[in-house]
Structure 1
Amino acid sequence: MNWKSLMATVVLGGSLVSGGSLAHAEKSSKVDLPVETPKFVKDHLKSSKVVSEKAVKKFFKDNQKQFKANPNKNLKFVKSETDDLGMTHFTFQPVVGNVPIANSRVVVHTDKNGEVQSVNGEFHKDAPAEIKQQKKVKKKEAINLAWKYIGVDRKKADKTQESLNGDTFDTLTENSNLVVYDDEGNYQLAYHVELQFSQPYPANWQLYVNAETGKVIKASNVAEEATGTGTGVLGDTKSLNTYLSNNTYYLYDVTKPMNGVISTFDNKHNGYYSLPGSYVTDTGNTFYSENQKAAVDAHYYAGEVFDFYYDNFGRVSYDDQGSSIRSTVHYGSNYNNAAWTGNQMIYGDGDGSTFTYLSGGNDIVGHELTHAVTESTAGLVYENQSGALNESFSDVFGYFIDPEDWLMGEDVYTPGISGDALRSLSNPNKYNQPENMSQYQNLPNTEAGDWGGVHTNSGIPNKAAYNTINSIGINKSKEIYYRALTVYLTPNSDFAYAKQSLVQAAQDLYGTSTANAVTQAWNAVGVN
């Protein structure tokens, strides 16, 4: 089976130009780790000049009543630092025996004259003098128990990634240290296990494993949400929802109200068998390089399309089930196309003449992700008139997402020529598409015939959409088109059935007058 025929069997939705599971967990849970509520003490403190660890310990002893305990019994000195204001900060680690209490510290702050200004931190005055548990679990065993708990294959996570400057770095970090874990006053001997990796998803897992039983007490992926910036295909600067893990920022958006995430990958021109590719990353959260431009737009516009469907229709991702939206840029070599492959987006770089980076058009991203919406709703078969409707609905929603003009793909099509586009809703004939049934082209239902002319005959329903929007306005039109797509259209709908579906949707939402306007819009293109 050659590559083109393989693509034809995989594509369930459609592509921008021609017809054409990566299932892995892309979820993150962020749970606050319970620790003793920190105290901040600054009044009624007795102290002489405090300039050393020994002096701090005397200070603690002199202020036992204020602290309602003798902090010297369970505090271990860590360091002292003097800041630009001349203040010195003495840091102590709360311990039981010699074992540190997790997520805790106490800091004594003195002014430049050595006078104590305040003391703050987690004092753990109710902590036991010793932990009676036996340490039955070994350090390495705790790490293995942590991998098992999070359900990730360590071998798959242990991958070396290539950075943007050509250097390589190991994205897997494992640490395990013995601590005392304060579980709401229940002090337990435990291992604090850290697992940081980028595959199969960016993660910074913090787990606590009971050192006697091996039970996981607490687990949280605390890889951080972040807001970065990047330069798009057209040179504009965009704000990006990113993710910080192991000192690396990922184009990985967990901010949307969905079960999954929006993630962006680099295929590095390798083609179908290398999908989805490598995560697009940056150490500074500034995605400004030439190689990152396509990814910046793919990531940003995927979020924009999610917001469009969610804000207008309450639709949660393309399947309304909150599934992840995955995009891959730099697909293939000089690939003049973009496509929804049934489980993700792919964007070519173009050949520099017909197209530049195809992710640079938000109407293109909207077009492709609408194929995914169509797949999970009407399921329009990608051939003949139902296939032309599939393409048309993607063009129409591409317009709804980018309503500045009636053109499709104008931002990235023929970069050396201004003012042209791939298609036009207002004037399909300008780009060799029919705009009336009298011009309908009976093309063979083959790859060479574009599966019955799905990208050709879509000009007819596109012109009907243009007529509709001009007659009743964009707001009513997008509601009507969405209702028709999700309620009335079925897989083998033809143009006449689409007309009836849109008319009925208009009747449902706005009544007879609007329904008549939709009827006239389709009559004008010869669908009677």
Structure 2
Amino acid sequence: MTGKWKTLLGTVTVGATLLAASVTPIETEAASTDKAYESTFNKQITSTIPLEDEQEVQAFLNKKKAQLDIGEPVELKFVTKETDEVGMTHYTFQPTLEEVPLDGAKLMVHTDGDDHLIAVNGALHTDSPRQASNTKVVSSEIAKEAAWNSIDVTRDATDESLTSPIGEVTETLKESSQLVVMVQDGDYKLAHHIQLQFTTPYPANYQIWVDAETGDILKKMNKVHEATGSGTGVLGDTKELKTYQSNGTYYLYDTSKPMTGVIETFDNNQNGQFRLPGSYVTDRDNAFTSSRQRAAVDAHYYAGQVFDYFYDTFGRVSYDDNGATIRSSVHYGSNYNNAAWVGTQMIYGDGDGSTFTALSGADDIVAHELTHAVTDESADLIYENQSGALNESFSDVFGYFVDNEDWLMGEDVYTPGVPGDALRSLSNPTKYDQPAHMDQYRNLPNTEAGDYGGVHINSGIPNKAAYVTIQSIGQTKAEQIYYRALTSYLTPTSTFQEAKEALVQSAKDLYGSAEANAVTTAWNDVGVQ
């Protein structure tokens, strides 16, 4: 199997940029106030009148495309308008070329409670041509067939259904196709973006781009999120569980959360073919105390804990904020030294007893992986180079927010025979061979061997910035700032500099200059000026 797995160990990139420093100031024609409300991300972007709705925002952007440095052929399609808890409104636009979405691109406009411009950020495509370099000849169905032919499994082998204890049937295969403009080495090509998500015969979340003219595969990755972590339940502690009774049998199946879906847990039974999700974990007396059940107990409990954290802290309803089911499978594979978010569910290996013990007992790792799911549903940070390092870093940071007993990742299950060992440290990244400053940044190739530009290596830099931030202003404020930046400001191709600006703006939105200055100082300390 080939593809890109998001691992704790360890897309076409459409350049996202903040507004260029050379841009001239922008004002709307009729001024109703003497004050110019500037873009925080670039002080030269101003508006002197309110922008009250998406039509006015779009008219503003379209009229000032040249000054904004948006490529002239690029059109902006309105996607969403959201007003948050502090009264700010966030408008999202999809850049298009000849009415076809530019893959991985997003432009955002942010206004305050009085509809004045606060910030503009996202992908600009200053050098886009007037049309794609190819034409659409291949249909979406033929492109899907090409995508299936490019991987090592047939569609029939992945297409299974699952029946829950309350009789609901879920299909484990999901596939979709979208015509996009893909940018590769400056070439703008029409491509079918094919997504193939399945759990049998192995977990996969394939993202495949097929040339819309030739049917060739332009790019392919298996966008599965993997991780490792720590847990106490696997070591013998007792937890209270939410279960479901049906016909005298109790299931690890939690319907108590304020969500449309459920939290459910399966046993993969070390299936050599990695068939997922497996069988429901059940018990006759509702006491899940056998050694075989320990991994499932922790997976089930911590999934609920992470749901509660995001719901209680931010009002987010499951990873998609729409109540999606959280499914976990334990005893995955044989001596599998990892855990993963596979796009539709979590999987947990038992470890080999030397490198790792059973991984599902790790609350910070469950949080790390489900934060990948949150990221997929919000900023959708592309998993390569700096955006990929941010993807990893935000998962580490929220892993800390859930399990804040120390600054380590993976210490409880990694090398169980070595006390105090860990995979990473937010407070001291260099202890585990990560850079902690831009002077130490590693320019690695965007290949599997190069960790896709060092996503697990260079994440030490934003991790250290997060540590300094939390030490300065405390977790309560820091977690709100980080969540707001992730869900309101970051875009798929955000860089470290743009993450800094998004976090500074989030601090200003929520708290004020003191907290914003603390965030600025933290990122300055790691060399992101």
Counterpart CA distance in 2 for 1:451 and 1:348 is 24
Superposed CA deviations along residues 137-186 of structure 1, whole A, max 9, x for unmatched, are xxxxxxxxxxxxxxxxxxxxxxxxxxxxxxxxxxxxxxxxxxxxxxxxxx
Equivalent residue letter for 2:166: A
What residue number does 2:187 align with? none
Distance in 1 (CA, whole Å) between partners of 2:352 and 2:263 is 27
- By how many angstroms is 1:363 displaced? 0.4
State the 1:17 CA deviation.
Answer: 2.4
Q: Deviations over 1:224-263 (max 9, x none)?
A: xxxxxxx920210001001111111111100000000000
Q: Provide, for residues 72-108 of structure 1, a one-character-per-residue CA deviation record: whole Å limited to 9, x for no partner.
A: xxxxxxxxxxxxxxxxxxxxxxxxxxxxxxxxxxxxx
Answer whether contact 2:372 2:391 (CA < 8 A) is retained.
yes
Quick check: 1:495–1:527 contact (8 Å CA) kept in 2? yes
Q: Partner amino acid for 1:482?
A: Y
Compared CA separation, residues 204 and 504, structure 1 to 2 (3 A): closer
Report SS of the residue matched to 1:286.
coil
Is 1:507–1:515's contact at 8 Å kept on the other side of the alignment? yes
1:201 is matched with 164
Q: Which residue does the alignment assign to 1:233?
A: 234
Residue identity in the other structure for 1:235: G
Aligned-partner SS, 2:514: helix
Q: Residue 16 of structure 1 corresponds to which residue in structure 2?
A: 8
Contact 1:244 1:250 in 2 (8 A): yes
Q: Please, what TM-score do these two structures have when normalized by structure 2?
A: 0.58
Q: Name 1:303's counterpart in structure 2.
A: 304
8 A contact 1:204–1:245 mirrored in 2? no
Q: Percent identity?
A: 72
Report the residue type matching 2:394 in the other structure: F
Residue of structure 1 equivalent to 2:521: 520
SS in 2 for 1:331: coil
Aligned equivalents of 1:342 and 1:404: distance in 2?
Answer: 29
Q: Post-superposition shift, 1:270?
A: 2.2
Structure 1: 5+ residue stretches without partners: 19-197, 206-230
Determine the C-alpha separation between the residues in 2 that align with 1:355 and 1:485.
31
Q: Distance in 1 between matches of 2:7 and 2:269?
A: 20
Which AA in structure 1 matches 2:487? T
For 2:377, the equivalent position in structure 1 comes to 376
Paired letter, 1:296: V
Which residue of structure 2 lines up, in the alignment, with residue 434 of structure 1? 435
User: Max radius of gyration: which structure?
Assistant: 1
Shift of 1:273: 4.9
Q: Counterparts of 1:202 and 1:368 in 2: how far apart (Å)?
A: 26
Q: Which residue of 2 aligns with 1:359?
A: 360
Q: CA contact under 8 A between 1:16 and 1:368: conserved in structure 2?
A: no
Who is 1:253 aligned against? 254
- 8 Å CA contact 2:268–2:274 kept in 1: the answer is no
Matches within 5 A, 1:62-461: 200-203=163-166, 232-270=233-271, 273-461=274-462
* Shift, 1:451, TM fit: 1.3
- The answer on whether the counterparts of 2:263 and 2:303 sit within 8 Å (CA) in structure 1 is yes
Higher relative contact order (CA closer than 8 Å, sequence separation 6+) = 2
Per-residue Cα deviation, 1:410-449 (whole angstroms, up to 9, x for no partner): 1111111111111110000111111111111112211222
Rounded to whole Å, the distance in 2 between the matches of 1:393 and 1:272 is 32
Count residues with an aligned counterpart.
317
On the 8 A contact 1:16/1:339 being kept in 2, the answer is: no
Counterpart AA for 2:299: A
In structure 1, the residue matched to 2:86 is none
Distance 2:321 2:302 in 1: 18
CA contact (8 A) 1:17 1:338 kept: no
Task: Give me the TM-score of the superposition, normalised by structure 1.
Answer: 0.58
Q: Which runs of 5+ in 2 are unaligned?
A: 11-160, 169-231
Structure 1 outlier segments of 4+, above 3 Å: none
Q: Secondary structure at the match of 1:303?
A: helix
Contact (CA 8 Å) 1:367, 1:397: kept in 2 or not?
A: yes
